[in-house]
């Protein structure tokens, strides 16, 4: 494994826990990159970038597959194939781990667990909210969660490589209070903490996702 510093180790544990939580729950993780506009970077900077991300998140969570279809972002056949018949009126989910860097005018690198989102929908809304069209999204293979977590932390949580600014995550990226439980367990059971933590993630994922409709999409 890469020789991480203390900040990177904390981020690695947070990212890895979220990836495993998703995998144990049978969910999908995608990697979303949002680039800042020069206009906002010159006037408001980082605060505006993060504020506008929260606007985007709230907007996403007000959408459903049927609304995407009605607004022309997805065809009827693709709506059914991506979300299934019974989920088309359900609102989307969006839980995330976010890293901000100083690349260019400012960039947000976001791992998110949630609904399939069409690229043109993301571009239109980020342009509308933040005046920037530069967006990318791709699927993350979480079968090897450790490798994926290493990549994210080594590439983006590093002052040398990518001008790291800060990181944050949503309350349900893993589960509320997971950091407190992890640190107590690591202190009390140093030799068995990783195996015990995996068991906790499995049990919590099973409980959390049991009654939750899956809008992660099939693509």
Look at residue 210 and tell me whether its pLDDT is greater than 90.
Answer: no
Average pLDDT over residues 57-81: 96
* 39-66 average pLDDT score: 85
pLDDT score at 60: 97
- Tell me: pLDDT of 115 over 90: no
pLDDT at residue 213 tops 60 = no
User: Residue 160 has what pLDDT?
Assistant: 58
Residue-level pLDDT at 62: 96
**Residue 219 scores a pLDDT above 50:** no
The tokens 């977590």 sit on which residue? 149
Residue 44's pLDDT is what?
Answer: 63
Model confidence band, residue 87 (pLDDT cutoffs 50, 70, 90): confident
Global pTM value = 0.90
**What average pLDDT does the chain have?**
89
Higher local confidence (pLDDT), 84 or 214: 84
- The reported pLDDT for the residue numbered 42 is 59
Q: Using CA atoms, how far apart are residues 62 and 91, in angstroms rounded to an integer?
A: 6
pLDDT digits (tens, 9 = 90+) for 142-199: 888 999 999 999 988 876 555 888 999 999 999 999 999 999 999 999 899 999 999 9
Is residue 46 scored above 50 in pLDDT? Answer: yes
């Amino acid at each position: 494994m890469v020789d991480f510093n203390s900040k990177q180790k904390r981020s690695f544990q947070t990212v890895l826990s979220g990836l495993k939580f998703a995998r144990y729950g049978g969910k999908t993780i995608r990697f979303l990159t949002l680039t800042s506009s020069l206009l906002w970077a010159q006037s408001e900077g980082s605060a505006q970038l993060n504020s506008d991300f929260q606007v985007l998140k709230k907007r996403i969570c007000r959408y459903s597959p049927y609304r995407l279809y009605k607004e022309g972002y997805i065809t009827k056949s693709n709506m059914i194939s991506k979300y299934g018949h019974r989920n088309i009126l359900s609102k989307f989910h969006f839980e995330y781990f976010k890293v901000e860097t100083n690349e260019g005018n400012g960039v947000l690198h976001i791992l998110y667990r949630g609904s399939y989102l069409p690229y043109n929908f993301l571009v239109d809304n980020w342009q509308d909210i933040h005046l920037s069209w530069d967006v990318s999204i791709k699927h993350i293979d979480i079968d090897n969660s450790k490798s994926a977590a290493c990549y994210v932390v080594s590439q983006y949580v590093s002052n040398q490589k990518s001008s790291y600014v800060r990181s944050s995550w949503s309350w349900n990226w893993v589960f509320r209070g997971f950091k407190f439980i992890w640190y107590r367990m690591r202190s009390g059971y140093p030799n068995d903490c990783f195996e015990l933590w995996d068991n906790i993630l499995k049990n919590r994922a099973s409980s959390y996702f049991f009654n939750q409709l899956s809008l992660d999409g099939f693509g």
